[in-house]
A and B are shown apart, each in its own frame.
Chain A
Amino acid sequence: MKKNDLKSMGKSFTKYILIIGALLILLDFTFHRHEYFSFAEIYGFPAFFGFISFVFIVLLGKWLRKFLMRKEDYYDQ
């Protein structure tokens, strides 16, 4: 029980988030979502945009470490 708390929490969280995600996509088919820009009205556009943005941010950030990361005591030297 003690050791697996976080793991089981993570698992059930993942499950619920996936269900909510699927529901949101399904909902998109039930009505016409009005947006300011017509291309954003494509089914699931915000979902796609959110997913891609997130992956892009994390991977670019990770890559930027090459240039921006220094040792912890960098400024004390």
Chain B
Amino acid sequence: MISNIIPGLIMILTSFLLPTIPQYFRHPAMLLSVGLSALSLFNGYGTFLEWDVLGLNLIFYQSDSLTFPFSIIFHIAAVLVIIFSWHSKNLMEHMATLAYAGSAIGALHAGDFFSLFIWWEATALTSVFIVFAGNTKAARDAAMRYLIIQVSSGVLLLIGACLLLYQTGNHNLTVLDLTTDFGIFIFIAFGIKAAFPFLNGWLQDSYPESSVTGTVALSAFTTKLAIYALARTFPGTDSLIWIGAIMTAFPVFFAVIENDLRRVLSFSLNNQLGFMVVGIGIGTELSLNGTVAHAFVHIIYKALLFMSMGAVLYRAGTTKASELGGLYKYMPFTTIFCIIGAMSISAFPLFSGFVAKSLIMSSLGGMGMVLIYFVLFFASAGVLEHSGIKIPYFAFFAHERKSKVKEAPINMLIAMGISAFLCIGIGVFPKYLYQILPYTVEYQPYTIDHVISQLQLLVFAIIAFLFLVKFKLYPSEIKSTVLNSDWFYRKMLPGIGKPLFKKIGLLTEFIYENLRFFFRMILNKSHKFSNSSYIKVTTPSFAATILISILFIMLLIVLL
């Protein structure tokens, strides 16, 4: 029986029941629902649930070698988020988080574009409540913008799916290309959620505004769902290589000057997605394996980094670099976990980032794509800069702290501990990760050439950092807002739109005023006319006069 239930659905149903469950049993119930949903991982590959809706055959539950690794990591991420938020009593956020994770898992198992659309919108509608749960004015505003962008992505997907069905008669998830109009619609729909350059504003806008625990949940699902969707429908699309390369490089510069460390991590998230998008663009078995492996390890270390910054926010009340520093003394465990996350994302050998990123770099090298290879190599130095050094350095070191703070709550430490363990475990024993990848490829990440090359890059980038700090060339942290692509719809469009609508408003008012004047004149005239002594004899009233004149005008129009 359990084999026919859509994975994730049980989590969504549980989320509806949460208000009826007493506070102390909520988190165990949430964990239990994730566990029940995870049983679907033992079902093997195939199509398990189809449904005929309005003459369309919708595939609600199918799984294959591509859904499998994503499904595993989404379940792991859900567990981590639940443990991390164990101390929290925010019911709305718990419900939203569980339903959001469930929807994302459901989306992975959709077999056609219409059922994908349903889950696509479900992830948008559930996750917006997580942004809301930030419970500040900034969070509520960001949530509204987030909702508009996410729903637009869904609408584009729906348009693409309808065009696809209309033009080809097929609506199953298949490989598409960019020569067709439906292909372009679907590509942009995925591109919004994957935070392509200039479509990325929503990510850095909303994620840092969410609550201590909410950002961890947000970081795991939406963007990786988009990566999964791209890997399924657009593998080997050349333009993705360029899009991905730009994605790896340009957020790096923004992250250098951003003051809010959770926003720095959001830029870093964007840069990591770039590596995965490049892997999809290359489209070989090795590179697609690289994308999936990178998504897998990325979810863990990115969650770990967001958790450590969440813990800092929870205890110190801010994640602004200009107000932090010296926390290593008071939060030693959080510091260590954060550094493990930082080393993983920077791809130090023996950490998880290394064994995943190597796959993508090797496939680029093997194809002889020299320029892209070095853009990504350059971006690796960038990752080290913002996530590897900036995050731990400004939060935990930089300078001594004056006021005391407590270490993170035990549940947060457990969640961070499990993530850190996974980061190192995967880094040391990559074969367990490689076993679940979509294609069987023999690959050895730990060759002496590769290890030395990567270590040289990283160690000398650290030396560059020390050099810059020593000579006071490293930019100091300043309280500020850094402009990003959300500027276009937060400042530029209102800047054009507001005066424009004001002008249009004035114009329409002017027209109305004149029309009103004109009609009043006619009314007055006809009133006078109907009351005059000539006409009173033949017509009974004012209304009749009006009717007669309207009929007369219509007659004239018809005759002319």
Interface residue ranges, A against B (CB under 8 Å): 2-3, 5-6, 9-10, 14, 17-18, 20-21, 24-25, 27-28, 31, 33-37, 40, 44-55, 57-62, 64-65, 67-75
Q: Are B449 and A33 in contact (CB under 8 A)?
A: yes
Decide: A71 and B449 in contact? CB cutoff 8 A: no
The answer to whether B370 touches A54, judged by C-beta atoms less than 8 angstroms apart, is no
Would you give the shortest CB distance from A72 to chain B, in whole angstroms?
5
Which B8-26 residues have a C-beta within 8 angstroms of A? none
CB distance from A46 to the nearest CB of B (A): 4
Name A57's contact: one of B382, B458, B462 (CB within 8 Å).
B382
Whole-angstrom distance between the Cβ of B200 and the nearest chain A Cβ: 14
Given the known interface contacts A17-B466, A58-B468, A58-B475, the answer about A50 and B370 at a Cβ–Cβ threshold of 8 Å is: no
Contacts A25-B456, A57-B382, A68-B482 hold; do A51 and B473 have CB atoms under 8 A apart?
Answer: no
Residues of B within 8 A of A45 (CB): 456
Contact partners of B464 in chain A: CB under 8 A: 50-52, 54-55, 58
Interface digits, B369-382 against A, CB 8 Å rule (1 contact, 0 not)?
Answer: 01001100110011
Q: Kindly state whether residue B520 has any CB partner on chain A within 8 Å.
A: no
Query: In the complex, which of the residues B373, B385, B452 contacts A58, with contact meaning CB atoms closer than 8 Å?
Result: B385
Contact A3 B400 (CB under 8 A): yes
B residues within 8 A CB of A35?
365, 449, 453
B377 contact set on A, CB distance < 8 A: 46, 49, 53
Task: Give chain B residues whose Cβ lies under 8 Å from the Cβ of A28.
Answer: 452, 456
Complex alpha-carbon distance, A74 and B494, angstroms = 14
Within B420-463, which residues are at the interface with A (CB < 8 Å)? 447-449, 452-463
Which listed segment binds A: B30-38, B106-114, B250-258? B250-258
> A40-B453, A44-B456, A58-B473 known; 18 other A-B pairs, CB under 8 Å?
A6-B397, A6-B398, A6-B400, A14-B466, A21-B463, A28-B456, A34-B449, A35-B449, A36-B366, A46-B452, A46-B454, A47-B456, A49-B374, A49-B377, A53-B378, A65-B480, A69-B257, A72-B479
Q: Report chain B residues within 8 Å CB of A65.
A: 257, 475, 478, 480
Residues of B within 8 A of A20 (CB): 455, 459
Contact B480 A24 (CB under 8 A): no
What CA separation (Å) do A45 and B53 show in the bound complex?
A: 60
One of A2, A37, A60, A71 near B480 (C-beta < 8 A): A71
CA A12 – CA B394 in complex, angstroms? Answer: 18
